[in-house]
Amino acid sequence: MRSKHHRLHLRFASLAALVLSLTACNLPQQQMRPLATVQISDTSPAAPQSTVTPAAPTNGPIQQISYQQPPATTNAAPAVKTGPIARIPLSAETGGPTSIVHPGAPYPANWSPPQISQPWPEDEYVYQGGDSRQQVNVAPDHSIHNLDEEDTIVHYTTRDGKIAIQPTNQIPIYAPRFSSVRHIGGASQYLHRDHASGVDNPLKIAASQENLGSEQVLQRLQAGRNISNRRTGLYRDESKARDVEYRIASLEGSQRQKPENGLLINTRVRIQNSQEARLSIQNTTAITATDEETVKIYVKDFMPYKVTGHNQMRSTYHYELAEGKSRLEIIKTSSNLTALPGDELEFMIAFKNVGDQPVSNVTIVDHLSRRLVYIEDTQSCDVAGKFFANDTVQESLILRWEITEPLAVGESGSITFRCRVR
């Protein structure tokens, strides 16, 4: 009785789920209903001024549509659409945070696919700043390694002699650039291709020939040969594998391989169990002998990379360093986050010693993207320093500012320069 109830419940649940699923299947079809543009007329009593900007204010019916973003008004009257069909339902479909209908933009602001971080898509942005891809390293001679394109970092020397590296923030600049690939052919070629596309459909009949493979059904008759499969009688022989004596013999054979660890490699002597303890003693002695060759003492974080002898440390020096941390904060900003090819952008790099110790050898390095061209003599730095601009193999530019004086606690500086977007 109880199982019958369960079955009824399950059938009812499955029917309900089926109805729900079929209802949900209609949702995409509703979203893809025929679209239409807005018919806008100045004679309309309430033109949708919130979404459409007429090109000419007093020149008859204007149907040109702009993508101008209207100013946000709190008491705006609801737009009345004079056309028979409204435009694309935008925020209602996407569930965006805003309810402003924007012509031609089916996504709300800053939209990105689920679980995809902003900005998106990446191929429409030019990035500047940060330390992406490989991590930048600075050698003790202040040579920089792994400085990738678009990277901007500052490296400085702390009071205890360490070299610290601090990348800036990353600036995404929306600057898509387009190019084209051209193919030149004859006009008659197009006509021939157009006809060929219509012939593709009758060729689908050829696919029916593939059904001839059903003759392979005859192979199912091979199942009749199972009569001769009398392998069950072989189980008697397999019972011999349970013999424990064979397995003990195999264990003895494995012990014969143990002489490889010692000096008895070429002496094919059968090792008894009583000799195993002696071999273990010899191996232990060898490990102790090799352990003395390793360096056991190192100073701070400088690990030895090459051992040339067995000299041991005989004296120890103790340094007393002032307590505190050296920290430099650096921020990079751009005058505009969108740019067309040919536009100029002004970048500013601001840095400040936010630690409790002065830092020295402050060097700011900016590897420009290949999409940016540094405009000559536009850089300025409000602290004393030297400026260098080096070309790279990839025809990009590396800008480098070396601050001459140490940066005291709380002291700050800024660098500005201009670039043109290619």
Is residue 411 classed exposed, middle or buried when 0-12, 13-18 and 19+ CB atoms within 10 A define those classes?
Answer: middle
Of residues 416, 419, 381, the one with CA closest to residue 402: 381
Q: Is 124 in the site for other proteins (CB under 8 A)?
A: yes
Binding other proteins (rule: CB under 8 A), the pick from 46, 77, 121, 304 is 121
AA letter at 274: S
Separation of alpha carbons 112 and 96, rounded Å:
11
Q: Is 59 in the site for other proteins (CB under 8 A)?
A: yes
Q: Is 280 in the site for other proteins (CB under 8 A)?
A: no
Site string for other proteins, 208-247 (x = CB under 8 A): ----------------------------------------
Q: CB within 8 A of 198, min separation 6: which ones? A: none
Separation of alpha carbons 187 and 279, rounded Å:
88
Q: Is 36 in the site for other proteins (CB under 8 A)?
A: yes
Separation of alpha carbons 88 and 101, rounded Å:
9
Binding other proteins (rule: CB under 8 A), the pick from 6, 142, 162, 325 is 6
Q: Would you say 176 or 410 has its CB closer to other proteins?
A: 176
Kindly identify the residues of this chain, within the stretch 310-349, that bind other proteins according to CB under 8 A: 337-338, 340-343
Site string for other proteins, 175-204 (x = CB under 8 A): xxxxxxxxxxxxx-xx--xx--x-------
Distances (CA, A) of 236 to 226, 231, 239, 242, 286: 20, 10, 5, 11, 52
Q: Would you say 124 or 252 has its CB closer to other proteins?
A: 124
Q: Is 86 in the site for other proteins (CB under 8 A)?
A: no
Binding other proteins (rule: CB under 8 A), the pick from 113, 233, 253, 309 is 113
Do the Cβ atoms of 348 and 418 come closer than 8 Å?
Answer: no
**Binding region for other proteins (CB under 8 A) out of 53-61, 134-142, 286-294, 350-358:** 53-61
Binding residue count for other proteins, defined by CB under 8 A: 95
> 121 preceded by cis ω (within 30°)?
yes
Q: Would you say 124 or 356 has its CB closer to other proteins?
A: 124
